[in-house]
Chain A
């Protein structure tokens, strides 16, 4: 676990999370390197839902994993609350696309896990776990083992487990990517209400345009090979509000135009893969 490193002076603006001129090269067998992302900079504000969007392979996961501290940047800095990120820590909890339920623990055991290893006193732990189990609407399943849950429920367990650990930042890498369309829709709406009631800052990766527009306060659109910030898109038509009803957002004036705009970007970036 990383100790708070010395505050780095940030002269102009201070973000909750600031990613500054970050590049990442992975070594390939045979001494060569692959440049996954190049010179990526953007900031995420307190309580914001920031969605990283882009064609597959453009480096979205790599950026998120660097924020989580699971991968080190080749150059550049990542600061959370002014402290440099080095290594994974409970202040940056991550939800993966693949199911990560601990099969040997009940739903409650899963949600309590982080607090248990971090030495949160029992009474506080029970209370906190119950709160987040209720928040993800799994009250009736608290004592059930994950193998008996559907995919959507497993992801809700993962979200509750991460939030119950009280992270400063919630990271999600295509968390609903493995779910069927209807469940995904439901989970997206649930996430909005969770973000509202738990006051969390969320950085989420997706390649689903509809999901990005519905959830995001801000979209960081990446171009591919190597991944760079192509454009930062704020869905202005939502007027800075969040909606727990996705249909409402899709029906709004401005939704289609933005969707079309991003689709075009996607297609340009996807097409450049062919060369």
Chain B
């Protein structure tokens, strides 16, 4: 008796499969990051690591602010964003219509899928040498790498989501008098759009990865190029500032896509209207 009373009265922190409140999850998330940076800062200040190789978080933030205000880092950031947005826009403008067509019409899939799925197994960075030979050092090879890196995965994801549009919905449309194109436009497209937006959000994160590769290997501008310049002068604080900015940008785009999802598809997000 006493034992069970005790455990009932005292709220335990470890509760088997019991969801935590949003307040608790926020506090927990902040906690783990504060802990991470505090340990880092402490280790750096205590002189346990070479400050040239591992600068303290404090030093990195100071450098980042200086780079943003006094140097041209903003320009590098903008050029990186522009590359990501432009290449991703190109990839989507091909992948969305093609993926939907492949998912809606097996005859299109039969032609396009053997081609598309083969490309997915070719690592995009392996094209860098040839892209440089073809397109020189301008923007084209970078954009091409970013497009090649995501487009085939995007097409496949969108095709799979389109195939998952339930047969009954399509058949309902047919018995209401819809022809093929009406059904693609008024049933398949609106059914699959939320999933397409989610696929876009996921693949945008991949685009950032290829951006850094492209800028490190073959660029004099952008965040990646800045980091390679910093390496030559052993400016680890600048490299780490670059990593932080890329992470922050990735997170920002992710949040923007989530917001867009809620805004475009309110019927999927509970009762608000």
A150, CB-defined interface residue at 8 Å:
no
Contact of A104 among B175, B178, B190 (CB under 8 A): B190
Across chains A and B, the number of contacting residue pairs, with CB separation under 8 Å, is: 70
B176 and A114 within 8 A (CB): yes
A104-B177 contact, Cβ under 8 Å, with A96-B172, A98-B166: no
A117 and B166 within 8 A (CB): no
B220, CB-defined interface residue at 8 Å:
no
Q: For residues 179 through 197 of chain B, which have their beta carbon under 8 Å from a beta carbon of chain A?
A: 179, 182, 186-187, 190-191
Q: For residues 66 through 100 of chain A, which have their beta carbon under 8 Å from a beta carbon of chain B?
A: 68-70, 88-90, 92-94, 96, 98, 100
Q: What is the bound-complex CA distance between A147 and B169, given in angstroms?
A: 15
Q: What is the bound-complex CA distance between A103 and B273, given in angstroms?
A: 14
Q: What is the bound-complex CA distance between A102 and B271, given in angstroms?
A: 17
Of the candidates A68, A69, A88, A89, the one having the most CB atoms from chain B within 10 angstroms of its own CB is: A88
Q: For residues 136 through 185 of chain A, which have their beta carbon under 8 Å from a beta carbon of chain B?
A: 145-148, 158, 161-162, 165, 167, 171
A103 and B267 within 8 A (CB): yes
Interface size on A, residues (CB 8 A): 30
B265, CB-defined interface residue at 8 Å:
yes
A70 and B190 within 8 A (CB): no
A100 and B178 within 8 A (CB): no
Contact with A along B144-187 (1 / 0, CB 8 A): 00000000000000000000001011011111111100100011
Contact of B271 among A1, A113, A148 (CB under 8 A): A148
Contact with B along A1-44 (1 / 0, CB 8 A): 10000000000000000000000000000000000000000000
Give chain A's interface residues, CB within 8 Å of chain B.
1, 68-70, 88-90, 92-94, 96, 98, 100, 102-104, 113-114, 117-118, 145-148, 158, 161-162, 165, 167, 171
A-B contact pairs, 23 of them (CB 8 A): A68-B171, A69-B174, A70-B171, A70-B175, A88-B175, A89-B175, A90-B177, A93-B176, A96-B171, A100-B166, A102-B187, A104-B190, A104-B191, A117-B176, A117-B177, A117-B178, A117-B182, A118-B177, A146-B267, A147-B268, A162-B175, A165-B176, A171-B175
